[in-house]
Amino acid sequence: MKRNCAFLLLCLFSFLMTADAQTVAPGWSEQKASDWYASQPWLCGFNYIPAYAINYTAMWDKTSFDAKAIDKELALAESAGMNVLRAVLQFAVYEDNPPYFLKTLDTFLVICAKHKIKFVPALFDDCVFGLEHDPKVGKQPEPLIGWYAWAWSPSPGHSLVIDERTHPRIEKYVKAVMGRFKDDSRILLWDLYNEPTNGGLGSASFPLLKKVIVWARTVNPSQPVSIDIWNNDDRLNDIVIPASDVITFHNYENREGLIKQINNFKKYNRPVICTEWMNRPNGSVIETNLPVFYDEKVGCMLWGLVNGKTQTDLNWGHRPGDAAPKVWQHDLYRPDYLPYDEKEITMIRKYTTETKQ
């Protein structure tokens, strides 16, 4: 009797596992990914955080979301011919008020579409540049002058990443957001997780990362999904690459380093998109690197648009009292909406215009 019960329980467990597995859609084939990419224009854009926002919590939070400011800033991007942007969503803002968050996300997409810009949402982000490792909704701190990205807020926050008891809450967020916009043509692709393991988490991010991949495949969006390759951690990349319909990556190197990385990705026989680049002091500059992206037909999103509270004109690790940098690290426009370097805008416009001819 005990053996029969054990056998029946085993059969039931196997059935449930199989039934669950059947709801998880497979990743895209190479051909499907290639066909999708062929239907897109050459993708040239930017990573976006509004100048008013010190972090992504402030961008989306009900105390500070500013559609008018976003509209003005995206008009600058449209005037330069850029057609795609990437931004991190914030789990804490969603959980605080799910209907508000979904409505606000739709408002943002309306503004993007008005300016002919596709959106790449990143569901999560492990990065930390200040002292806080968990986001808090509501009014955010003011900048600490001289500190790069002083109050950056990861999503969902390191405590929740590590504590697997919170993961069912995070699953609801993934399925609600992706489910709501899974067939929305205003979304180019889903970036499931920005720089997992960054901020000191290391492999502690792996359990959540793997779950996010399964949750996303369960939703089965009409858009491709991807996770950016951002370092040389083979254990991480062994998770990221098989989970990606298209290859997305970060590169802040000079022209030679960029070409080397792009050539390395050709072995995957999938579309390639650089979702973070441009570090002027490091040689990752528009003059030399934009032509590489264009010639190789690799989409690209530089960092960032209008300089503001994040102070990303400073270099990584910049602290109060350090000498002001001779050249900006990131950002295309000054807070008054004038270009940092008019020649950069002219060059972007030249290449984006050529793709429309």
Query: Tens digits of per-residue pLDDT, 244-283?
Result: 999 999 999 999 999 999 999 999 999 999 999 999 999 9
Structural domains in the chain plus CATH codes: 29-354 (3.20.20.80)
Q: Is the pLDDT of residue 48 over 90?
A: yes
Per this entry, what is the length of the chain?
A: 357
3 has pLDDT over 60: no
Paired with 125 in beta bridges are: 155, 194
More confident residue, 26 or 297: 297
- Rg of the chain over Cα atoms, rounded to whole angstroms, equals 21
Question: What pLDDT digit, counting tens, does each position of 109-125 carry?
Answer: 999 999 999 999 999 99
Contacts of 144 (CB under 8 A, 6+ apart): 130, 150, 151, 320
Work out the mean pLDDT of the chain and round it to a whole number. Answer: 93
pLDDT in the model for residue 189: 98
Q: Is the pLDDT of residue 18 over 70?
A: no
pLDDT over 60 at 2, yes or no: no
Q: Return d(Cα 75, Cα 78) in angstroms, integer.
A: 5
Distance, CA of 262 to CA of 18 (rounded, Å) = 38
25 pLDDT band (50/70/90 cuts)? confident
**pLDDT at residue 1 greater than cutoff 50:** no
Burial classification of residue 266, based on how many CB atoms lie within 10 Å of its CB (0-12 exposed, 13-18 middle, 19 or more buried): exposed
pLDDT for the residue 12 = 36
Percent of the chain surpassing pLDDT 70: 93
* Local confidence band at 131 (pLDDT 50, 70, 90 cut-offs): confident
193-218: b (≥16 Cβ within 10 Å) or e: bbbbbbbebeeebbebbebbbebbbb
What integer is the mean pLDDT of 199-227? 97
269 within 8 A of 30, measured Cβ to Cβ = yes
Instruction: Please compute the mean of the pLDDT values over residues 163-180 and round it to a whole number.
Output: 98
pLDDT-derived band at 14, boundaries 50, 70, 90 = very low
Structure confidence at residue 210 as a pLDDT band (50, 70, 90): very high
pLDDT at 356: 58
Measure CA of the first residue to CA of the last residue in the chain; give whole Å.
Answer: 76
Give the C-alpha separation, 344 to 150, whole Å.
Answer: 27
Q: Among 25-34, 166-175, 347-356, which stretch is predicted with the lowest mean pLDDT?
A: 347-356
Residue 16 has pLDDT above 50, yes or no: no
**Left if phi > 0, otherwise alpha if psi is -120 to 50, otherwise beta: which for 77?**
alpha
Q: Which residue has the higher pLDDT, 182 or 18?
A: 182
pTM score, two decimals? 0.92
- Averaged pLDDT, 289-307: 98
What's the rounded mean pLDDT across residues 61-66? Answer: 98
For the stretch 336-346, pLDDT in tens is 999 999 999 99
Instruction: Output the six-digit token pair for 26.
Output: 């497979």
Task: Please give the pLDDT value at position 349.
Answer: 97
